[in-house]
Each structure stands twice: as C-alpha cells, then as structure tokens.
C-alpha cells in the first residue's frame, strides 16, 4: 500500500481574493500529487504540515487526511463514502480495515467472499487485499469462522 496525505480546504472561504490566491500559490509550490475541487493530495507529510502551518490563522482547512493510494482497485457501492477516484484511487486510511484471506477450502473461500461482498468497500487485485469499514472487522472474523477460512487484518 502506498500512503499519501490530503489537505482538504473548506468550500466557504472567509478571506480576501489576494490572500486566497497566495494560498493556492503556496499549494502549487509543494509537490502536488493530485487534486480535486477541495482536496489536494501529496505523497510527503511535510508538504501538508507546511501548508497547515501557513494556513492555520486563515480558517481555510477543513481537515488533513492520511490516505491509501492505488493504481487499480475494484470498488464496490460503498466506496464513495471511504474514498474517491482522481488520477488514482484514494481511501481514507482511518476509516478502512484491510484484510487478506490466507487459507481455507476453495469452495468455502468463495462462499465467504460472497457473504462478505455486501460489506466490501474495495478489493486490490494486485495485493489480493480486501477493504472494509473498520467497524465491521468482527463481522468479517465471524464470517471467517463460520466458513472455516483464515483471514488476517493488516
């Protein structure tokens, strides 16, 4: 998993236009990895920390997020609540729990995967890793026990 950081700006800016222009200038002075309307993604935490310090008195920052970045990802219906797609796929690290299915009979694994599907956020085929809401970890473990398979949360 590749990690990144997002600086999320507020939609309603209470600063004058020249101050706002200066803020955007500061953002683009850093090594910007990707962006959406209000989200600016960086691979280095020090870039986000620097900007957060510079903008602290302006009440511009909604939140700073730690992200997981993916080149390819199979996403499920719940994905938009946990991330978004820009140049790559992004998920909020603090909201998700990654796990792998490590062992079990093939039929049991397929049945468990079908049962788990309604709780899945995404699946990373290259790393064979599933992502669920961190609050359903016990439910996934319960499915694993019921289907006699072995899962490991990362």
Sequence-ordered strand ranges (E) for 106-154: 120-124, 129-133, 150-153
pLDDT grade for 112, boundaries at 50, 70 and 90: very high
Render pLDDT for 54-87 as a digit per residue (tens, 0 to 9).
Answer: 887 887 888 899 999 998 999 999 999 999 998 8
Q: Say which residues have a Cβ less than 8 Å from residue 45's Cβ, sequence separation at least 6.
A: 5
pLDDT for res 1: 57
Per-chain mean pLDDT for the chain: 90
Q: How far apart are CA 132 and CA 154, in angstroms?
A: 12
The pTM (predicted TM-score) of the whole model is 0.83
pLDDT grade for 122, boundaries at 50, 70 and 90: very high
pLDDT for res 53: 86
pLDDT grade for 13, boundaries at 50, 70 and 90: low
Domains and CATH numbers, the chain: 2-70 (3.30.70.980), 95-153 (3.30.70)
């Amino acid at each position: 998993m590749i990690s990144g950081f997002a600086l999320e700006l507020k939609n309603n800016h209470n600063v004058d236009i020249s101050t706002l222009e200066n803020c955007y200038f500061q953002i683009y002075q850093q090594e910007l990895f990707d962006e959406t309307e209000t989200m600016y993604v960086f691979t280095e935490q020090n870039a986000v920390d620097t900007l957060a310090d510079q903008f602290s008195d302006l009440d511009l920052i909604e939140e700073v997020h730690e992200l997981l970045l993916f080149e390819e990802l199979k996403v499920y219906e719940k994905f938009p609540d946990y991330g978004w797609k820009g140049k790559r796929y992004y998920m909020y690290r603090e909201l998700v729990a990654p796990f792998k299915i490590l062992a079990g009979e093939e039929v049991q694994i397929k049945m468990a995967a079908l049962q788990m599907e309604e709780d899945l956020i995404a699946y990373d085929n290259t790393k064979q890793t599933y992502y669920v809401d961190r609050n359903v970890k016990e439910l996934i473990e319960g499915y694993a026990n019921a289907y006699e398979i072995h899962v490991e949360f990362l």
